[in-house]
Structure 1
Amino acid sequence: MPYLFLLFILMPIIEIAVLIQVGRSIGVLLTIAIVIATAILGTAMLRHQGMATLRKAQTRMQSGEMPAQQLLEGLLLVVGGVLLLTP
């Protein structure tokens, strides 16, 4: 349990430090543009792939099968989308 707590404390601190270093190397505006671009990419990916996964799950449910793989894919898509949305 303490490892999970450290992960949630250390990761944002490391991420901020990396953003500061990147900003110093390539410039603040370009860094902000990259952060915004990854947020837009994450949103688009989540929307597109999420709808495709939902359609697959509905098809499986209509055929009487449990959409276990689609549920896992949906969960992983949400995690990936959130990671791309956060700076």
Structure 2
Amino acid sequence: MKLNDIFKSNDGYVVAQIKVRDSDGTPRDIEPKSCCLTFEEAVRERESLSGMDVIICPPFGYGDISPAETADYFRAYFGTNADVLNQRLC
């Protein structure tokens, strides 16, 4: 499933498992696991799926997502490699 499709079909925080990543770390296949109304619920759900490559997709359309939360999302999405993240954002 593509990330765009996840955002279109959900109004809350989506906890999703990354099934396949490219060699540069970019996710290619994402499977939604659950939808949560609050970030705290999503964090608990992510913790229950420990051992899996899991990200929390925030509801960007609401406009009330804190910068730290958004940064956490991009770190998880692109991996912790700062060079890859900087190349994609610049």
Larger helix percent: 1
Q: TM-score, normalised by structure 2?
A: 0.23
Higher RCO by CA contacts (8 Å cutoff, separation 6 or greater) = 1
Larger strand percent: 2
